[in-house]
Structure 1
Amino acid sequence: MSPSTSRRVGRPRAQERPASGLEPREEVLAAAAELFTTHGYTATSTRAVAERTGLRQASLYHYFDGKEAILAALIEGTVRPSLEVARQLVARTEAAAEARLWALCQCDVMLLCRGPHNLGALYLLPEVQTERFAVFHQVRAELKAAYGQLLAGTEPGAALGALELALRTDLLFGLTESVILIRRADPARDPQALAVATADAALRIAGVPQRSLARLRREGQRLLAARR
């Protein structure tokens, strides 16, 4: 069988577009990411997304059952990689919880800042509060719980009561996601510098003394390097 006949047959295109190297489903997501963040979710139709990818509108429904499904896939994709990192770091019990918390925060910020479009800004859409996005909220809640678990394992966190621990977890998680607004206000901000500064600030919120930050930062960076 020749390569041309062994390839998966896709849905017909309305017009030929230059090869992007992406599968059609990923092309739809890439186009939607651009349109949702530049023109707005409400103002973007499935027809516009299909036209941007060169697909017929009917063909787009082969991959997604509608605009909400595309949005759900986009925002779920912003939290699943961070949750995988969080699970790995929670399991690294031989390392200091403070260093693991620093590593999670730094990596989470970098993941939120990756790519040309600020997809985290889509969290703020009122549509995202509906039941259709329950999976996103579940994954995000698991990620937040990992922050709380690491915080509880720190020396300052171990001394906190349940209510104070929950409050500081909210503050840590909110700090990390605040980069969404920072990036929207200043798209040119260096993601690496932002990630390090945010992770440092997270440890200060956790109650880690300033004198320990440099050492824990180095340990956190080693943990992340070991994942590559």
Structure 2
Amino acid sequence: MSSNRAGRPRARGTQDPDRTPRQEILDAAAALFGESGFAATSTRAIADRVGVRQASLYYYFPGKDEILLELLEASVRPTLDLVGAIRTAAPTAAAALYALAVRDVGTLQAGPLGVATLYMAPEVRTAPAFASFREHRAQLQAIYAELASAAAPAGHPVGPDALGAACLHVVEMVTTLPPRPGLAVEIAHACLGLAGLTGPVAAEAATAGASLLTGLTPATTAV
């Protein structure tokens, strides 16, 4: 079923003509999940926030589990889809780590900024409905661990698992910060710093990572 089919009734007109009803549902749900929690948010409340009838919401999503799963997957899948290209193009693990962090920030900033705050919700952490997201986020963390540990200098005191978790959490922190130019670069440098890379070594990795990103699509790289 196409996600952009027209013809279902709306309680009032779309507030933003550049966004589809499906996108408005996702945005409204993300806001309500953040305000009230997933369990306390009903599909009726989401429909009311968007301005559609509850029956119309079901035309786009079977229920709120599917809404949240789409929000969660959209925060990790675009980055995972580019990991192979980043690895292939990167001259070093440090450059790949930098490029991954910048692109991951872009992925998170492209969606509702409160989504990452839902990662620790009890339902997201345990419910079978969100198993695919948990698996994909774990894959992303493992990639950060691999790249950060490969980039780290000999004798670095932090092991791969902790490095991967630290890098991922630093990147996801972007959803709690006001957007501003250069934020993705700062966060990517923070990931390099966690791996023990500073000064000219970090600058070289950043230059190489930024260069390889110019050849990647889609254009979700934050600046």
TM-score range, shorter chain: 0.7 to 0.9
**3-state SS of 1:226 partner:** coil
Q: Which stretch of structure 1 is more off in the superposition, 98-107 or 110-119?
A: 110-119
Aligned-pair distance for 1:24? 2.9
Unaligned runs of at least 5 residues, structure 2: none
CA distance in 2, matches of 1:170, 1:34: 26
| Structure 1, unpaired ranges of 5+ | 1-6
- Corresponding residue for residue 125 of structure 1: 121
Q: In structure 2, what is the Cα distance between the partners aligned to 1:156 and 1:120?
A: 30
The answer to whether the Cα contact below 8 Å between 1:102 and 1:216 also exists between their aligned partners in 2 is yes
Alpha-carbon deviation of 1:100?
1.1
The equivalent of 1:188 in structure 2 is 178
Quick check: which one's helix share is greater? 1
Structure number with larger C-alpha Rg: 1
Kindly provide the amino acid, as one letter, of the partner of residue 122 in structure 1. Answer: L
Kindly indicate whether residue 87 of structure 2 is the aligned counterpart of residue 97 of structure 1: no
Superposed CA offset, 1:69-110 (max 9, x none) = 2111111111111212323212325x2221111111122123
User: CA 1:151–1:19 in structure 2 vs 1: closer, same or farther (change >3 Å)?
Assistant: closer
User: Structure 1 length as normaliser, TM-score?
Assistant: 0.79
SS of 2:8's partner is: coil
Distance verdict in 2 for CA 1:10–1:136, change over 3 Å: farther
Query: What RMSD over aligned residues (CA atoms) do the two structures have, in Å?
Result: 2.8
What do the CA deviations read for 1:183-223 (whole angstroms, capped 9, x no partner)? 2xxx4352x43322221121122232433112211111111
How many Å separate the matches in 2 of 1:144 and 1:19? 35
AA aligned to 1:107 is: R
Moved over 4 A (4+): none
- CA 1:116 to 1:139, structure 2 compared with 1: closer, same or farther past 3 Å? closer
Task: Determine the C-alpha separation between the residues in 2 that align with 1:48 and 1:215.
Answer: 50
Please tell me whether residue 62 in structure 1 is matched to residue 59 in structure 2: yes
- Equivalences for residues 77-88 of structure 1 within 5 A: 77-88=74-85
CA gap 1:221/1:47 in 2 versus in 1, 3 angstroms: same
Which residue of structure 1 aligns with residue 49 of structure 2? 52
Q: Residue type matched to 2:141 in 1?
A: K
| CA distance in structure 2 between the partners assigned to 1:52 and 1:81 by the alignment | 27
Describe the SS at the equivalent of 2:159.
helix
Counting only pairs closer than 5 Å after superposition, residues 9-88 of structure 1 correspond to structure 2 as 9-18=6-15, 20-88=17-85
Match of 2:139 among 125, 142, 157: 142
Hey, what does 1:176 align to over in structure 2? Answer: 171
Report how many aligned residue pairs link the two structures: 213
Q: Deviation per CA, 1:159-181: give whole Å up to 9, x if none.
A: 779x922232222223222334x
SS at match of 1:156: coil
Report the equivalent of 2:195.
Answer: 206
Query: Does the 8 A contact of 1:204 with 1:210 survive in 2?
Result: no
The CA distance in 2 between the partners of 1:211 and 1:199, in whole Å, is 15
Question: Are 1:103 and 1:199, in contact at CA under 8 Å, matched by a contact in 2?
Answer: yes
Q: TM-score, normalised by structure 2?
A: 0.80
Identify if the C-alpha distance between structure 1 residues 18 and 211 changes in structure 2 by more than 3 Å, giving closer, same or farther.
closer
Q: Is 1:217 matched with 2:206?
A: yes
